[in-house]
Structure 1
Amino acid sequence: MAASMIMLVAACSAPSPQPSAGTSSPATSSAGATAQPSGSPSAGPGDGTPGAGTTPGDDEPGRYAYLCTSLDASPEVQLSSLAEVWAANNYTRMASCEVTFAGPEPFEATPREAEAISTAEPQGAGTDDGLATMLDVLRLCTRVSDETGPGGFEEANRGTLLAAAAFCPEAPQGKIIAGWAQGARVGDGSHAVGEALEPGGVQLVKPGPAASECTWSVTRSDGSVVADGGLAEAGQMVAVEAGQNFTSDKCGIWGKMY
C-alpha cells in the first residue's frame, strides 16, 4: 500500500516541469504579437509622407494658411489646407477665408499652380511671381456660396473663376464656381451675351438685399431695348441672345435656365 502511494505521488509530480515550459510559450507569442504592431506604425510614415499619392500642386497641408471667419459669432478658425476648410464642422456657416502662403520662400509655383496662374492671368502675372493671383484662386476655392463674405464670385474676374473651377472641382461648391466661370451665373452689372453670359434664358435665383428696387434690361448692340423690367419679371425667364447686352441693377444673382 505504501509502495502504491509512493508511485502515485511520483506520477503526479512528474509533469510539473511542463507548466513551466507552457508559460514560456505564451511569453514568446506575446513578444511576437508586440513586434507586429510595432512594425505596422513604422510602415505608415514610410508611405504616408505629406503629399504622397497626390499630384504636384495639390493643396498640401502647411503650404498655405487659411484664416476663416464665420457668419455667426463663432471665433476665427486657422486651417492648413483646402481639404481642412471643406471638412470643417462650421463650413456652411463660414463667411470667407483669408489665404496666405506658408511654404518655403521664395514662392515657386508647382505645375498645377502655374497652370492656374496662367489661366487666371493669360497675359502674364506681371512683375510678381504669380503668388497674389494664386491666393485669389485659392480664396475662391474656399467659398461657401455666391454671396457670402467680401470678394465673392460676383467680384472675381473671368480668368480667376476659370482657374478656380479647374483647380478645385472637388470643392463642395465646385458646380457653383463652374457656373460663374462659364457664364451660367452672373450678378448685377453689364454683361455681354455670348461672352460673360451664356445665351438662352436667365432668371433671378438669389434676390439681393435691395431687390425691391431691381431693374434689368436687354439691349441690342446699337443700344435699342429688347426687353426690360423689375423684380416681378425677374422671377420669370428673360431671354438673351448672343450679341446682346444684359444689364442688372440692385437685383441680385441670375442663373441660367436649362
Structure 2
Amino acid sequence: MKLYIPALVAVLAFALTGCGGGGKPAAEATSKPTASATAKQRAIVPDLVGKSALEAKSHLDKLNYRARFFGPDGQSWSAKTQVDDTVLTVSTSPAAGGFSGNDFVDVRVNISEKEFLTGATARAAAKDVADAEANIARRYTYSCGVYGPGHEYKSFEEVWGSGDYKDGGEACEIKILGISPSSKPDLLPSEQKLVDDVAARGVAIKSPGETFGRIMNLCAKLDNTWGATYMDKPTTPESRAEAAVALTICPDAPHAAELQNTVNSPRVADGTMVVGQAMEPGTWKTKPGVKGCYWSRSAGDGTILANDIIDFAPDGVTVTVNAGEGFKSSRCGVWVKIG
C-alpha cells in the first residue's frame, strides 16, 4: 500500500498544474466584462415632444448628442439652418427613454425647412415694420422756405411754430428718411392706409408715395405762392379727398378751416364745363369785387339759358346751375359752391 502513495501524489500534482505548466486559473483566463456602450450611448433620450426645437437641441447638447432635424415630409434640415422657438418637436428617434447608438438623435419637427425659412424672412420683415412703426416720427423731415436750401423741421407741429409758416409762401416738402416719398414705394402700413383712404373716396392712385407726400404736406403748410392763395385755387376730386384725409391726422392744424372748406365747398376756375361732371349742380359764388365777369348757362343743344356781363360786383356774383347744363365763365376768377 505504501508503494503507491508517491505515484498518486504525482498524478494529483500534474492535474493541478496542467500540461503546459504555469497557466492561470480558469477563472482568471476569462476576460473581465467591459462597457459595451460609451457615455453617450448610456444617456437616456429625454421626452422632448411638444418642446421647441431650441429646447430640444439644448437638452440633447447637454447629453452630448447632436440633434438632426427632419420636417413632416421626412426631409432633413441643413445643419446651417438655425431653428428658433417657433419650431416644435413632434417626435424623436430614439423615443423618450431609449438610447442612441451613435452621436445623433433624430428630431422630427412640425414644419419643413423651406417653410421655416420663408416664415423667418416674413417674421424678420414684420419686425422691421413694427420697429419702424414704433419710431415713425423719426422717419420724417420737412423742408420749408422758398429761397435757398430752406429749413428743416421734424414734425408739422414744428413747422406751425416756425417763421416759415408765418411768412406764407410755398408748401413744405416732406422727406421719408431723407428721400422724397415719390421715390419710396415701400410705405409703412399706417402710411399706406392714408393712401387707401384717399382711394376709397373714388380717387385713382397713380403713385402711393406722391399721394402720401401731398397729404403730409397739407398738414404742415398750405401752398400760397404765385399770387394765389390755397383758397384761390380750384379743387379736384383728388385735392378734396387728400384734404379730408389730412384732417384725420392733423385736425388741430392752424389751417384746418381751409382744409375743411376745401372738403365742403368745392371750387372751380374760369372755363367751360359740363355741370354734373367738372362742376357740381348747385349755387356758386365768386369772390367779392369781381370786374368784367362774363358767365353763361346753356342747354345740351347749345341754347343759351341765361348769361350776364358784370362790370363790377362788390359782393360777388351768384349763379345756380343744374345737372346736364353747360357753364362758361371768363374774368370771374374762382367760383365757390355755397349751396
- Do they fold alike, i.e. is TM over 0.5? yes
Distance 1:218 1:80, change over 3 A: farther
Structure 1 residue 205, shift from structure 2 partner: 1.8
Partner of 1:219: 298
Question: Could you say what secondary structure the match of 2:241 adopts?
Answer: helix
1:101 paired with 2:175, answer: yes
**264, 267, 279: which is aligned to 1:197?**
279
Distance (whole Å) between structure 2 residues aligned to residue 134 and residue 107 of structure 1:
10
Q: How far, CA to CA, are the matches of 2:156 and 2:300 in structure 1? A: 42
Q: Aligned pair 1:81/2:155, yes or no?
A: yes
Residues 86-140 of structure 1 show CA distances to partners (whole Å, capped at 9, x for unaligned) of 3334534311124142327755323443233342584343xx5x21222233334
Distance 2:216 2:241 in 1: 12
- Give unpaired runs (5+ residues) of structure 1: 1-55
Structure showing greater radius of gyration is 2
CA deviation profile, 1:228-251 (whole Å, cap 9, x unmatched): 334436823211222223333332
Matched with 2:145 is: 68
Q: Is the CA contact (8 Å cut-off) linking 1:92 and 1:144 kept in structure 2?
A: no
Quote how far apart the aligned CAs of 1:63 are: 1.3
Q: Determine whether 1:180 maps to 2:256.
A: no
SS at match of 1:123: coil
Query: Matches of 1:219 and 1:179 in 2, distance apart?
Result: 29
Contact 2:214 2:242 in 1 (8 A): no
Following superposition, the deviation at residue 182 of structure 1 comes to 4.6
| Whole-angstrom distance in 1 between the partners of 2:265 and 2:273 | 9
Per-residue CA shift, 1:164-212, capped at 9, x if unaligned?
Answer: 32223523333333433455332333444344434322111266xxx54
Decide whether the 8 Å contact of 2:272 with 2:326 is kept in 1: yes
Q: Counterparts of 1:246 and 1:80 in 2: how far apart (Å)? A: 45
Counterpart code for 1:187? A
Q: 1:250 aligns with which of 331, 334, 338?
A: 331
Q: Which amino acid aligns with 1:220?
A: A
Across the two proteins, how many residue pairs are aligned to each other? Answer: 192
Distance 1:141 1:215, change over 3 A: farther
Letter in 2 for 1:91: Y
For the residue of structure 2 that corresponds to 1:163, the secondary structure is helix
1:132 maps to which residue? Answer: 210
Task: From 146, 149, 167, give the equivalent of 2:225.
Answer: 149
TM normalised by structure 2 equals: 0.45
Matched letter for residue 143 of structure 2: Y
Aligned partners of 2:288 and 2:214: how far apart in 1? Answer: 24
Task: Give the Cα separation in 1 of the matches to 2:235 and 2:285.
Answer: 21
Structure 2 unaligned spans of 5+:
1-132
Q: AA paired with 2:307? A: D
Give identity over the alignment, percent: 23
- Aligned AA (2:175): F
Return the alpha-carbon distance in structure 2 between the equivalents of residues 244 and 110 of structure 1. Answer: 44
Hey, what does 2:241 align to over in structure 1?
162
Tell me, in whole angstroms, the C-alpha distance in 1 between the residues paired with 2:308 and 2:255: 31
Retained in 2: the 8 A contact 1:66–1:81? no
Residue correspondence of structure 1 range 14-93 to structure 2 within 5 A? 60=137, 62-69=139-146, 76-89=150-163, 91-93=165-167
Looking at structure 2, the residues matched to 237 and 111 of structure 1 have their Cα atoms a distance apart, in angstroms, of: 45
TM-score w.r.t. the length of structure 1 is 0.57
